[in-house]
Structures are given as C-alpha cells and as structure tokens.
Amino acid sequence: MKDVWSLSRRHFMKVTGFTVGMGLVGLNFTSKAYAKAKGYLTDRLAAIYKHDTEMKYRKSQDNPAVKELYGHLLEHPNSHMAHHLLHTHYIDRSATVKALKEKGIKLKI
C-alpha cells in the first residue's frame, strides 16, 4: 500500500508553486490564474478531440497513401524493409557531451 504522505515530484511542485504564489500575490490572484490556466487547458483538449473526430482518416492503416506505400515499397507491416526505413535507433551520446563540457566547450542544447 502506498504511503498516504508520500508525494510524487510533480504533485510536490504543484503544491509548492501554488503555496508560494499564494503567499506572494495573494489567494485571489492565484485562484484567478489557476482558473484561467485550467480553462485554457480544457479548451485546448476539447479542440484536439474535436479535430480528431473530424479527421477523414483517424487510423494510419486506413490512409490510402500509407496503403500505397506498403503496396509498392514496404511489402507489409513489420517487413524487413519497413523496419529498416521506418524504425530509429537510440545512440547514447551523453559521454561525448560530458567530455566536451569538461574541456570547457559550451554547447547549445
């Protein structure tokens, strides 16, 4: 069972930010800012779902361009050619970045 008093990092940051904001500018302003942000996010989410329901092809496998691509070049889903052309591979470059930073080179990341 999860401890009642344990907080996730995200929840801690929300509570801390709200508390600091309330202490600095007062409850009224903080409440209005929170309501405005929540309203914006609610409207944005509704717009995304509305756009999704209005799309002609909601699933990629129904898109004629994708069907044609598989028919002419990629053979079938998960074929060797599809895997070779469509899948990416992760390369860990953190050691290289760390070595450059130790040399004093500034990176724009």
pLDDT recorded at residue 30: 72
pLDDT (tens digit per residue) in 13-61: 888 888 887 777 776 777 788 889 899 999 999 999 999 889 888 888 8
Query: Which residues, at least 6 apart from 75, have a Cβ–Cβ distance to it below 8 Å?
Result: 81, 82
